[in-house]
Structure 1
Amino acid sequence: MTETIPQKPDVMSEDFARDPHKYYKIMRDHYPVLLHEESGYYFVSRFEDVARVYKDSEGFSNENYGFQMEPVIGRTVIQMSGREHVVHRQLVAPTLRGSYLNELLPQVDDIATKMIDNLNPGESVDLVENFTRWFPINVIVRMLDLPEEDMPKFHDWYSSLMAFLGNLTQDPDIHAWGMRTQKEFPAYMLPLIAERRKNPGTDFISRLFDAEVDGEKYTDEQIKSLIGLLLIAGGETTDKAIASTLKHLLQRPDQLEAVKKDPSLATHALVENLRYHPPVQIILRTATQDIEVAGTVIPANSVVAVVNGAANRDDRRYPDPDRFDIFRDDISLKGAFGGSAEHIAFALGRHFCVGSLLAKRESETAITQLLEKFPNIRFADGYEPEDEGMFTRGPKDLRVNLT
C-alpha cells in the first residue's frame, strides 16, 4: 500500500502556532527541509541535520543577524565569525562563566528569595506575570547596577528585540517598535557607559572595561550592543525555561513530588525541559554556498531556520521523545550546559550560548525556592496552560494556587 504523504505544514498558520509539535513530526518524517515560500526560509527539523548546520561554520554563517538584530542593537559577537568571533567571545566569557559569575550567583539566589517572598500562601496568581517574566530582568538590572524602577524599560526593550528578531512576516508595527528601541536604548545606555568609564565599580559594565584579548578592548558602542544581546539571550529565554519547566512538573504530580523530595532533581527537570520544550524553538543561519541537506539543495545566501524544538523530539535520536521524563537516562547532566550537550537548546558548536551557566542557576533557584515555599502548589481550578510563540515559546501565563 502506498503511504499517503501529509500536506506540507504552513508554519504561519494558526494550527501550527497552537501545536507546532504535531507539525514538527510531519516535517521530520516527510519534509526534513521545508521551504516557506513567503519568507524564502528553509526549515530544517531532524536532529542530525540541525546539529550539522550548527557545527558547519563553513557552510552556514550567522550573517542573518545583520538583519535580525544589528539594525536595532548594533553588531554583536553572535553574528561574528573567525578570529573576530574568537576574540569577542574571549572578551565576554570571563564575565559570564568565570569569577564574576561565582560572585553573582548568591545575588541571583537573593533576588529569587525576595521576589518569592512577595508571593503569599493562599493566593491565586499568574506566575509568569508575577515572577518568571521579571526575575531574569531583575538579575540583569542587578548585574548592570541600574535602578530597579528602570526594569519596565528593559522589559519593553527586550520584548521589542525578540519581536524584531522573529518578524518573519515583516509586520510594520513590530518594525516600528524595534526602531523606537534603536533610538531609546542607546540614548539610555551610552551616557551611562561613559559615566562608568569615569567612575568604574564592580558591575558587569565596569568589568568589561578591563577585558582585553591580543590588545583589543571593548568600545562603548560594543558594550552597548553586548548589553542588548544580554537582554535577548538572558531575558525572555530564561523566563520561558523556568515557566515551561514548572508547567511540565505541575502536569506530572509524580515527578513534581520527586523534585520536592530531592531538590537536586530540579536540574534534571530543567535539562529535560530543554530537550522536550526548548525556550528557543528556532534559530536562523545563512547558507554560504549551494549546499545539500537531507536531499534538498539549499541555495547560497538562503536563510535557514534551524528548528531546535523539532530536533529535540526526533525519534531517530531519542527513544519515546514525546514523553517528558526527568529520569530519562539518554541525556547526561554532565555537559548539559556546555558545548557537548546531548540536547539542542543553546545551539551547538562555536556559538553555543556563553550565558548558559547563569541561566542554569537562575532556573534551578527559581524552581527549588518556589517548591520549598509552596509545597502544595497546583494549577488554579479549571485552568489549562497554553503555550505561545514561534521563535521563542513558553506558557503565555501560568495561573496557580499557592498552597
Structure 2
Amino acid sequence: MAEARFSVLSEEFDAAPERYFGWLRKHAPVHHEPAVDAYFVSRYRDVRRVLEDHEAFTTETLQQRAEPVMRGPVLAQMTGAEHTAKRKIVVRSFTGPALQDHVRTIRANAAELVTPFLPTGRIDLVNDFGKPFAVQVMLDVLGLDKEDRPRVAAWLAGVGEFITSVGLTDERRRHCLELAGELEAHLVPVIEQRRRHPGADLISTLCTAEFDGVAMTTRDVTALVVNVLVAAVEPADKTLGLLFRHLVDHPEQLAQVRRDPALLSAAVAETLRLTPPVRLVPRLAEHDTELSGTVVLAGATVFCMTGAANRDPEAFTAPDVFDLHRPDLGTARSFTAAAQHLAFGTGLHQCVGAAFARAEIETVAALLLPLLDRVRHSPGSRYRETGLYTRGPVALPLDFTPVHHGVPGHHGVSGHDGVPGQV
C-alpha cells in the first residue's frame, strides 16, 4: 500500500481503521492528508508528545472547530489562571460529594430506561438505551427538563457534527450552526433564571462561581454548559456499547466480571484503551517541529490518532487483544492524569470528566449485568462501527433471558424534588 493511495478519509478506512493502524505507525507515522491539509500522527510516543507539549502544539484550532457551536471559548482553549480556575470549578462538580449525587442520578435514569425492555428479552443497547441515557443523565446533572431530551439530543447532534467532521459542506455547516443557535436560545433563559434563583445543579454552580472575583458572563456559562454536554454525552453511549460488545465477544472474561464485580473497572479501562470513543484530538503546530522524521510546518493542524496510539506495541503488549487482566494498563491510574492509555488525552488539557465517565459506565454496567442474563448478540444482527473523529457501534442488538420483576430497588423516578431523578 503506497502512502499516496492511502487516505484516512476513505470508506475503506472508515469500515475498519484498526486494519491500517500498524501500517500507518510503520510507514506513515506522520501522515499528511492533502484534502484537509492536516497531519495524522499514529505512534504512541508522538501522540503523547503532541498532547503534552502545549507550547509547541496548542489548542488554537478549536477556535474554528468548536467555538462557533460552543458559543464561546471552551476549557481546552484556555490557558493560565483562567484555565486553572474554570477547570477546577468543573472538576469539583464531577468529583467528591457531587459525584455521589450523580451516581444516584445515573442509577435512577438507567433503571427507568431499561425497565420496559426487561420482559421482552431484547434491547438495542445503543439506540434503545445508551443514546437516550447519556442525554438524560446530563439533563438531570444540569437541572434541565428531561421532557426536552429529544430536542436537546437533536441540537447536540448538530454541535457534535460541526466539531467532529474533518470536512463539512457549506450546507451542513449552516445547519449545524442553526442547531447550535437553537440550543443557545434554549439555555440562556435558564442560565439567567438560575443566576437569580440558584439551586443545587451544575448550571447554578457555574452561575454563582467567580473568576478573579467576577462572576462568569452568560456567554461564559453557556459555552461551559455546551462544553460539558458534548464532552459527557458524545462518548458515553459509545463506551457503554463498546464495553458490552467486548464482554459479549469474550464470554470467559464476561463470566469473570460477573463472578468478581471488582473487575469491572479493568474491563472499562481496557475498553477505553482498545477502542477509545474519541479517536482524533486536534492541535495546531506553533512552529516547525519534527515528529518521527517528518517536519510538521508551523500553522499546520495535527490530529492525534488515539486509537492507533493505544494499539502501539511500543506501549502495550499484544495491543490488539482485549485483556482485562492486562498488566501494562494499570486500572487504578487509568482514570487519572497518570493513565497509560490516551483515551482521555493527556497533559494540561486531559479530559476533566474522567472520574465522572468511570462512575457513569461502571454504575450502568453494574446495574445491567445482573439483569442481562445469558446476554448474546441478537440472531441475524451485524455489528458495525462508524466515525473518524468519534467512533462507536451503530447499533448493538442483544438478546437475554427476560426479566419480569423489574430492577431491584427501583420504584420509579421522581421529578425535581430533591436530587434530580433520584429514586
The two structures share one fold, judged by TM-score above 0.5: yes
Match of 2:163 in 1: 165
Q: Is the CA contact (8 Å cut-off) linking 1:54 and 1:348 kept in structure 2? A: yes
Equivalent residue of 2:284, what SS? strand
Give, in whole Å, the separation in 2 of the partners of 1:15 and 1:252: 26
Distance in 1, matches of 2:30 and 2:214, equals 40
1:230 deviation in Å? 1.2
* CA distance in 2 between partners of 1:9 and 1:320 (Å): 25
Q: Is the 8 A contact 2:195 2:208 kept in 1?
A: no
Q: Is the 8 A contact 1:91 1:212 kept in 2?
A: no
Q: Aligned-pair distance for 1:89?
A: 1.2
Asked if 1:42 corresponds to 2:60, the answer is no
Alignment of 1:402 with 2:396, yes or no, is no
Q: Which residue in 2 is equivalent to 1:18?
A: 15
Cα deviations by residue, 1:244-284 (Å, 9 ceiling, x for unpaired): 01111111111111111222212111100110000001110
CA shift digits 1:97-140 (9 cap, x unpaired): 24322322222122212222222244333111111111121111
1:70 is matched with which residue? Answer: 67
Match status 1:356 vs 2:368: no
Q: CA deviation digits over 1:329-351, x for unaligned, max 9?
A: 11111221111101000100111
Three-state SS of the structure 1 residue aligned to 2:31 is strand
Give 1:65 deviation, angstroms.
0.7
Partner of residue 216, structure 2: 218
Deviates most, 325-334 or 76-85: 76-85
Which of 287, 290, 300 is matched with 2:288 structurally? 290
Q: Which residue of 2 aligns with 1:203?
A: 201
Aligned partner of 1:333 in structure 2 is 331
In the alignment, residue 54 of structure 2 is paired with which amino acid? S
1:299 match: 297
Cα shift readout 1:5-25 (whole Å, capped 9, x = no counterpart): 676521111100000011121
Name which of 101, 105, 108 aligns with 2:106.
108
Q: 1:93 to 1:213 in 2, by over 3 A?
A: farther
CA-CA distance at 1:228 after TM superposition: 0.8
Aligned match of 2:366: 368
Cα distance in 2, alignment partners of residues 49 and 287 from structure 1: 13
Q: Match of 2:52?
A: 55
Alpha carbons of structure 1 residues 6 and 320: separation in structure 2 relative to 1, 3 Å: farther
**Displacement of 1:40:** 0.6
- 2:75 and 2:371 map into 1 onto residues whose CA distance is 39
Q: CA RMSD in A?
A: 1.5
Paired AA for residue 37 in structure 1: P
Distance in 2 of aligned mates of 1:236 and 1:35: 27
Look up the equivalent residue of 2:251 and give its one-letter code.
Answer: P
Work out the CA distance in 1 between the residues paired with 2:283 and 2:395.
30
Q: Which residue of 1 aligns with 2:416?
A: none
**3-state secondary structure, aligned to 1:134:** helix
Do the aligned partners of 1:121 and 1:402 also contact (CA within 8 Å) in 2?
Answer: no
Partner in structure 2 of residue 249 of structure 1: 247
Deviation at 1:213, TM superposition (A): 4.3
- Deviation, structure 1 residue 46: 0.4
- Work out which of the residue numbers 232, 235, 238 in structure 2 matches 1:234: 232
Q: Give the gaps of 5 or more residues in structure 1.
A: none
Pair 1:173–1:367, CA change in 2 (3 A): farther
Q: Which runs of 5+ in 2 are unaligned?
A: 402-423
Question: Bigger CA drift: 40-49 or 146-155?
Answer: 146-155
The separation in 1 between residues aligned to 2:47 and 2:37, in whole angstroms, is 18
Provide the C-alpha distance between the structure 1 equivalents of 2:119 and 2:253, rounded to a whole number of angstroms. 22
> Larger deviation: 268-277 or 140-149?
140-149
Do the aligned partners of 2:194 and 2:207 also contact (CA within 8 Å) in 1?
no
How many Å separate the matches in 2 of 1:125 and 1:173? Answer: 35
Separation in 1 of the partners of 2:2 and 2:142?
A: 53
TM (norm. structure 2) is 0.91
Instruction: Determine helix, strand or coil for the equivalent of 1:63.
Output: coil
Name the structure 1 match of 2:266: 268
In the TM superposition, what are the counterparts of 1:69-108 in structure 2 within 5 Å?
A: 69-73=66-70, 74-108=72-106
Q: What amino acid is aligned across from residue 308 of structure 1 in structure 2? A: T
> 2:345·2:351 contact (CA, 8 Å) conserved in 1?
yes
